[in-house]
Amino acid sequence: MREKIVAGNWKMNMNREDGLSLVSEIQKGLQRETKADVKVIVAPPYPFLGVIDSSNQVKLSAQNCHQEESGAYTGEVATSMLKSFGCDYCIVGHSERRQYFGETDRYINHKIELLLKYGVKPIYCCGELLEERESGKHFEVVETQIQSALQGFKKEELLNLVVAYEPVWAIGTGKTASPEQAQEMHAFIREKLAQVMGEDAERVSILYGGSVKPNNANELFSQKDIDGGLIGGASLNATDFLAIIDSF
Ligand code: PGA
């Protein structure tokens, strides 16, 4: 049985007041209708991690962490700090980090190592660019990302991993991968995980991300290997986010 997960990635949005009221609206919505079998996560910017309580209903995720354990890295946040603020999850390898901050698979691999060491579950993002899909290289690209990020971990450790397939051309563009395109890649990712983890790959949740909205979530989440979503834009509005949670 795999966990169903809906995670909201706020990116660099929201101030204190709006952020806290968004979380409280989500909590109220979840109280009205129990969604016991869906894990709901919010990933706000760092300052919010100290002021939002991680509850049973809404778990906290960071959007990033540093690849070193501690020390002279001005402006950075360590994994152990995230844990001490009640963060159960951390997004790593988001395409915006790869694109704008030059993150490589090697750094991401270090981050995953520290997250696993401190008991924070990595939400590992992978996905191809539009030109890579158009030139038929999407499987190759995702395979390389998966293999290099996961290199060196034991299969028991990888049971704490969540994978998010986010085709870069679908992020924030309003263009979603079709349920068939997404399912095809999710099955491929699970096959790659199985090469390392064997049958345990069946226990890893693989989320889809990229313009998930209330009107397309149900069709995506109905696919065999899609276990939920990493939601950007639509997670900034409680009604839309709750509707996406509802669409399982
Ligand atoms: P989007 O973002 O839902 O706005 O496309 C998804 C993400 O980047 O996690």
Q: Which domain holds residue 45?
A: 4-246
Ligand 1 lined by 211 (C-beta under 6 Å): yes
CATH number of 129's domain: 3.20.20.70
Annotate the chain with three-state secondary structure.
Answer: CCCEEEEEECCCCCCHHHHHHHHHHHHHHHHHCCCCCEEEEEECCHHHHHCCCCCCCEEEEECCCCCCCCCCCCCCCCHHHHHHCCCCEEEECCHHHHHHHCCCHHHHHHHHHHHHHCCCEEEEEECCCHHHHHCCCHHHHHHHHHHHHHCCCCHHHHCCCEEEECCHHHCCCCCCCCHHHHHHHHHHHHHHHHHHHHHHHHHCCEEEECCCCCCCHHHHHCCCCCCEEEECHHHHCHHHHHHHHHCC
CA-proximal residue: ligand 1, atom 3 (nearest) = 232
- For ligand 1, mutation pick of 230, 236, 241 (most atoms within 8 Å of CB): 230
Per annotation, catalytic residue among 96, 103, 128, 166: 166
How confident is residue 74, by pLDDT bands cut at 50, 70 and 90? very high
Q: What is the mean pLDDT of residues 179-193?
A: 97
CA-proximal residue: ligand 1, atom 2 (nearest) = 232
User: What is the number of structural domains in the chain?
Assistant: 1
With 0-12 CB in 10 A as exposed, 13-18 as middle and 19+ as buried, what is 136? Answer: exposed
Specify whether 166 is catalytic: yes
**Percent with pLDDT over 90 in the chain:** 91
CA-proximal residue: ligand 1, atom 7 (nearest) = 232
Closest ligand 1 atom to 213 CA: 3
Specify whether 96 is catalytic: no
Residue 36 confidence (pLDDT): 66
Which pLDDT tens digit goes with each residue over 14-27?
Answer: 999 999 999 999 99
pTM: 0.97
CA-proximal residue: ligand 1, atom 6 (nearest) = 232
| Cα 129 to ligand 1 centre (Å) | 14
Q: Distance between CA atoms of 71 and 104, rounded to whole angstroms?
A: 21
**Percent with pLDDT over 70 in the chain:** 99
Which pLDDT tens digit goes with each residue over 25-35?
Answer: 999 999 887 66
| Cα 48 to ligand 1 centre (Å) | 19
Residue 68 confidence (pLDDT): 97
